[in-house]
Structure 1
Amino acid sequence: MDEVIKTFHIDWKLLIAQLVNFGIVLFVLWKFAIKPLAKVMEKRSQDVEKSLKDAKKIEENLAKSEKERENKIGQARKEAQEIIEKANQQGELQSKQIVDEAKNEVQNMIATAKDQITQEKQQMLKEAKSDLGYLVTEATKKILEKTGKKEVDEKIVAESLRPFVK
């Protein structure tokens, strides 16, 4: 071993000094570089993990929100369909009511017209009877003037025409 030390020119003092220097450099590097860097790396790893977890939660919330949105859209469509159906039913009901009211109004008009026609018919018959009675009376007077007693004949004609001249 002495030969190796002489061959490589190893100085023990220098070797020990280099070992001490190496230890000091190692300590300083550990204290001021490796340890803070390890903390930063650990914090960075935790931040990445937290970000991944948050991203997963956000993704789940997004999926949940999407489902809720779809449910609300479906519900809104259903409500809109119900409103449309209700409006259609109300429209049909109103149209039926309008048709029924129109029918009733037409029937009332027809009934009123029939009553008016009946009254006019009765009035015309009454006038016709009166005119007919007058004509018959006049014709009978003329015939009776030619035949004889005027007073007796007028009484007979008046009694005969009494039912017609009301």
Structure 2
Amino acid sequence: MILGVLAVAGTPDNAVVRLADSFGIQTELLVAQMINFCLVSYLLYRFAIKPVLKTIEERKSKIAEGLKYTEDMKAQLASAEQERLNTLAKAQKEAQALLAKTKADCELYTREQTKATEAKMARLLEQSQNALVTERAQLLSEVRHETASLAVAATEKLLSSILTDDMRQKLNQKAATLLAEKEEHGTQA
């Protein structure tokens, strides 16, 4: 093809050649410059532009990957934050439930302990009252017996000078009978 162009350029009859000559263009040099331009363009494309374009594409893909990675990390961060908030809310609910259960258990324990203490106090009060009643009856019995002994001793002393032995014996029997009856009535009451 280049030879065809040269062959056409070499003929002086050609109108293009004559026009180019009128402008001072040498067709042989123009064709050689075109060949040089094509050769340099090919070499530049092959060894300079193509690797640069490849590098640009690699960088574009790395940038795209970086942007995608950034978006993924943002999504993961948002997901982790949401999970943290959910976990925190769940832990707070569990803590509230545990606190409520503990409070209810504490109140139940307090009520049970109060009832047990009240029952114990009632038993102690009843035992104290029973002991008091028993002690009172015993004291009354002792006081009656002591009073009777004192009365008999005082009467005996008084009457020993006035009464004879026979009268004393009858009086003692009568007093013992009355005393026995009185004690029976006192223990029954």
TM over 0.5: yes
Question: Which range moved further: 145-154 or 37-46?
Answer: 145-154
The answer to whether the aligner puts 1:152 opposite 2:167 as a matched pair is: no
Match of 1:155, as an amino acid? Answer: Q
Question: Which range moved further: 67-76 or 128-137?
Answer: 128-137
- Report the identity percentage: 27
What CA RMSD, in Å, does the superposition of the two structures yield over aligned residues? 2.3
Unaligned runs of 5+ in 2: 1-15
Tell me the equivalent position of 2:69.
54
Q: How does the TM-score come out when normalised to structure 1? A: 0.86
Tell me the equivalent position of 2:98.
83
Tell me the equivalent position of 2:122.
107
How far has the Cα of 1:36 moved from its partner?
A: 0.7
Question: Which range moved further: 75-84 or 99-108?
Answer: 99-108
Question: Which range moved further: 122-131 or 62-71?
Answer: 62-71
What does residue range 2-151 of structure 1 map to in structure 2 within 5 Å?
2-142=17-157, 144-145=159-160, 146-148=162-164, 149-151=167-169
Total equivalences in the alignment = 166
Deviations 1:126-157 (A, max 9, x none): 11120222134235435654355122222222
Equivalent residue for 2:180, pick from 143, 162, 165: 162
Matches of 2:143 and 2:156, distance apart in 1: 19
Matches of 1:50 and 1:2, distance apart in 2: 57
Deviations 1:48-78 (A, max 9, x none): 2222222222222222222211211110110
Match of 1:18, as an amino acid? Answer: Q
Q: How does the TM-score come out when normalised to structure 2? A: 0.76
Does the aligned pair in 2 maintain the 1:133–1:161 contact within 8 Å? yes
Larger Rg over CA atoms = 2
Matches of 1:83 and 1:10, distance apart in 2: 101
